Amino acid sequence: MVKIWNKPKFVLNSNYVITLDRIAQACHSERSEESLAIIEKLLAHKNFKAQIEEWLKLGMLDKSISEVALFG
């Protein structure tokens, strides 16, 4: 048992990825103000523009897509 307990752990870190459409869907639930506040905080983040530029560079977004199209 001690051998198993002292065995090195392989998972050192984990993160969650939640898409904005999932947050927007929550806007129609009872926590709509909280969901909108989260989206506003993300859009106001200092690195948000850099993230969009990176997605464009990687081909994950089309250059013709505007912020309005991205976030309704």
Which among 31, 12, 11, 15 is positioned nearest to 23, based on CA atoms? 31
Mean pLDDT for 19-31 is 73
Q: Which amino acid, 48?
A: F
| Coil, strand or helix at 17 | coil
Q: Give the mean model confidence (pLDDT) for residues 2-31.
A: 77
| Alpha carbon distance 47, 53 (integer Å) | 10
pLDDT in tens, 45-54: 999 888 888 8
Q: Nearest to residue 71, comparing CAs of 33, 26, 20?
A: 20
Long-range (24+ apart) CB contacts under 8 A made by 37-43 are: 39/71, 43/71
More confident residue, 39 or 44: 44
R_g over Cα of the chain: 19
